Amino acid sequence: MVLRKFKLILLVCAFSFSCGYYSLKGSLPPHIKSISLSPVINESAEFGVSENLETKINEILISENILEVTGEDIADSRLNITITSIRDQPYTISASSTSSYEQVDEWRITLSANVVWYDITRDVPLFDKRLSEWGAYGTGLDIHSDKIDNDNDGFIDEEDDDEFGSPRESALEFAIIKLTEKVITEVTSTW
């Protein structure tokens, strides 16, 4: 878990020229000192995903100390997240060697959400966005040996410490981690 987190921060460093969340802290609206995360609403049929996303976002908000995380009654701002859909779609298809049908070699599971960061003090949205992220999975038993870069970080199978576990569940977990990262980046780069 610690390793995964470290890697996530490294990734953010690698792909944004300023390093991670820290340097963006100074660009937050000055009258916003605190944030409250409303319970995540889940409109998809997937069980447990709202609690999972909520836990991850709260963990990063608290650990990175971006804004003070408080109850909604005393917060300057509120983050409302609605998971609108979770979709599995074929990404690569090939001819089956054993039948005349085509087979799906790689699936992508995409998590989409509406994310509104609301300024409680001024009664206006700071942003209102539709965000989505995906994870990939194949037809094997474990993502450690599917020759797919399941979390799209440039490392495949044994090169990647994060790639182990059952295919769809792991791919969804990657989508949740990536969406968490995206929401935090949106909050820190709004102003």
Among 66-74, 95-103, 115-123, 139-147, the segment contacting Ca ion (CB under 5 A): 139-147
Query: Is 119 or 149 the residue whose CB approaches Ca ion more closely?
Result: 149
Smallest distance from the beta carbon of 170 to Ca ion, in angstroms? 9
Assess 157 for contact with Ca ion (CB under 5 A). yes
Residues touching Ca ion: how many (CB under 5 A)? 11
102-119/77-95 β-pairing: antiparallel
State how far the Cα of 32 lies from the Cα of 88, in Å rounded to an integer.
38
Smallest distance from the beta carbon of 159 to Ca ion, in angstroms? 7
Cα radius of gyration rounded to whole Å, the chain: 18
Among 20-28, 66-74, 82-90, 146-154, the segment contacting Ca ion (CB under 5 A): 146-154
- Selected from 35, 113, 115, 143, the binder of Ca ion by CB under 5 A is 143
- Residue closest to 179 by CA, chosen among 44, 92, 77, 86: 86
Sign of CA dihedral 62, 11, 142, 94: positive
Q: Assess contact for 138 and 103: CB atoms under 8 A.
A: no
- Residue closest to 128 by CA, chosen among 58, 78, 172, 75: 78
x-or-dash pattern for Ca ion, window 159-188, by CB under 5 A? -x--x-------------------------
Query: Is 28 or 177 the residue whose CB approaches Ca ion more closely?
Result: 177
Q: Which residues bind Ca ion (CB under 5 A)?
A: 143, 146, 148-151, 153, 155, 157, 160, 163
